Chains A and B, each alone.
Chain A
Amino acid sequence: MARIDRRAATWGILAVAVALGIALFGSGNLRWFDAALVGYLFGTLFAIFGVVYRYLIWLRRPPTARLHRRAWSAFLKPGARARNAAAVPGLVVNKLLLQSFIWGRSRARWLAHQLIFWGCVLAALVTFPLTFGLLHFESVGQNGRQYRTFIGGLGTMTFDSRSFVGWVNFHLLDISAVLVLAGVFIFLSRRLRDPGALAVERSNDFLALAGLFAVSVTGLALTASNLWMGGRFYVFLNTVHALTVILGLMYIPFGKLFHIFQRPAHLGAAYYKREGADGAQQMCSRCGEPFASQLQMGDLKQVLPQVGFDYDLEGGGGSYQDNCPKCRRLMVAFAQGRAVGGFG
């Protein structure tokens, strides 16, 4: 059995404690805490622990640790801080929010990912504050149609429940479910019909889609029960929905959805590459052409032994890694040519 990492577990427990603290204070000592949502809270706390634990273990892998350190030092480099800070909004919008790198791969995949992404963001913005008791609604005076939205103890906007704003407010999760389902169907149609996608399928790919589908459909079923079925099966549907959501939350640290927490490293890589491009370049020891930053090649040569490789040449003749990728291919070809007595 794998050993539990104490350091990561401690940080995980700390994160859970902070989350509980937020729930406690944010809900006015549980005054606005909705007890019906306690199952969701437990699911969320489990997800928080799991994500923090896995994230810290992931950060400890030698190449990850090095990139993490280098990216932050590149970002905080004296003299470049203003430039780096100014680049943050563009990078966040481009790489994390609009995910423009998917656009080049396929318009349909980009659209599907955007639908799921914004659907999930919307759902998270509604559900987590509700679960933590940070967000609640109160009727205004004796007017049953008027509601006021409270964030913590702070009253914000008042709206008529029969108005358009009211309709949108009470159906935010339905809207997010429709967005997610649209994305799931696009992804599923690709995954079920494209031979290339089918061949490289991993079980995680389907599980993540199945989870999103289940959460969205069972959530919509609650609204359907309310609107068109006179509330029939509501308790049953509510239980099924809660179960799918809680299982979904518990799945986040283990499966494909963990990439949500890995993606910000994309920004780190951008700063790292920029730092490398600004610095000295590594010349190929064979053809003499520049092929990478000295920064990255130096890092790589330190990481390789840490993960069990030794590409040093005999007799202190440098490293095989000092050759550019093209020269490596040629060296392999020449070696094979020698092994069969020459080309042709």
Chain B
Amino acid sequence: MTGHVVPVSIGRKPPPRPPRQDAFGENIFVIDQSRCIGCNACVQACEECGTHRGHSMIHLDEVDRAASTQTAPMVCMHCEDPTCAEVCPTDAIKQNEDGVVQSSLKPRCIGCSNCVLACPFGVPKYVSEFDQMMKCDMCYDRSSVGLKPMCASVCPSEALWFGTPEEFAATRQGTLVNEWWFGNQYVATKVHTVADAPGSIDVTAGDGERPWQDDPFGLNEMASGE
């Protein structure tokens, strides 16, 4: 928590101090899709970020509109070894010293969409208006000076959260996880998610099972005595 500091993301006032390697300090970004209430505040707030002003980089998807009101946000997970950067033919995607994977370098990006199609989290956006890729950079003008990214600063259900692991442990349930499996591919990310138990999350293992839709209130589980 940055206290009473009013974040200035738009305008001409420069940030109070330049980004540096330890700018994030102990802070981590946590995404917990299961807490999303679909209010769209993150989508609106994202547009206010100084690094991609006017363009919302966050994704907010309805998981199955016919069957559920559930929505799921997605920010860039900032992979430790970013697939998007590796498949870029012009080497336009750079990772900062602090692990944040930046949006494409404008002079280099040729809008081929390799990154859009390779990202395991489905994050980069191809913006046809500019013929270039843009993506979430964790509101680098803010997060690099210790402020919350715009989405995390407005999320009412804390599905998007920014703070120290200690603060998380004191106020939230669950374990922080930042390791994923996509088929044979292991991916470690700077952004964490929340799970009941430690370990990695296998994205492809149980796809198709949707217990919250088949049994939204857990009645079947209760009846079966689980």
A: residues with CB less than 8 A from B are 58, 61, 63-64, 66-68, 95, 101-102, 104-105, 192-200, 202, 256, 259, 262-263, 265-266, 268-269, 272-273, 286, 291-292, 296-297, 300, 303-304, 307-314, 317, 319-321, 324-344
Given the contacts A319-B183, A344-B216, A332 and B203 also touching, CB distance less than 8 Å: yes
Q: Contact at B32–A336, with CB atoms within 8 Å? A: yes
Smallest distance from the beta carbon of A333 to chain B beta carbons, Å? 3
Given the contacts A265-B90, A320-B183, A340-B174, A273 and B140 also touching, CB distance less than 8 Å: no
Smallest distance from the beta carbon of B48 to chain A beta carbons, Å? 11
Question: Can you report 9 residue pairs joining A to B where beta carbons are below 8 Å apart?
Answer: A196-B51, A272-B112, A273-B113, A291-B117, A300-B87, A317-B183, A320-B183, A330-B61, A339-B194
Bound-complex Cα distance A3 to B103 (A): 31
Given the contacts A326-B61, A334-B210, A200 and B195 also touching, CB distance less than 8 Å: no
Q: Contact at A296–B132, with CB atoms within 8 Å? A: no
Mark B57-100 against chain A: 1 for CB-CB distance below 8 A, else 0: 00101010000101010100000010100111111001000000
Nearest 8 pairs of A and B residues by beta carbon: A196-B50, A325-B122, A333-B72, A199-B141, A339-B195, A328-B122, A259-B107, A196-B51
Q: Contact at B201–A320, with CB atoms within 8 Å? A: no
Q: Contact at A336–B201, with CB atoms within 8 Å? A: yes
* Chain A contact surface mostly: helix
B: residues with CB less than 8 A from A are 8-15, 18-19, 31-34, 49-53, 59, 61, 63, 68, 70, 72, 74, 81, 83, 86-91, 94, 102-103, 106-108, 110-114, 116-123, 129-132, 137, 140-142, 144, 174, 177, 180, 182-185, 193-197, 201-207, 209-212, 216, 218
- Which residue of chain B is the closest to A67 with respect to CB atoms? B89
Q: Contact at B34–A266, with CB atoms within 8 Å? A: no
Given A259-B107, A330-B72, output 11 extra A-B contacts at Cβ < 8 Å: A196-B50, A199-B144, A200-B51, A269-B110, A310-B183, A310-B185, A329-B59, A329-B74, A333-B34, A333-B72, A336-B193
Bound-complex Cα distance A341 to B218 (A): 10
- Which residue of chain A is the closest to B143 with respect to CB atoms? A199
Q: Contact at A331–B207, with CB atoms within 8 Å? A: yes
Q: Contact at A341–B196, with CB atoms within 8 Å? A: yes
Bound-complex Cα distance A296 to B114 (A): 8
- Which residue of chain B is the closest to A113 with respect to CB atoms? B107
Q: Contact at A327–B91, with CB atoms within 8 Å? A: no
Residues of A within 8 A of B193 (CB): 336, 339
Bound-complex Cα distance A303 to B117 (A): 12
Bound-complex Cα distance A335 to B197 (A): 13
Bound-complex Cα distance A342 to B50 (A): 35
Q: Contact at A198–B14, with CB atoms within 8 Å? A: yes
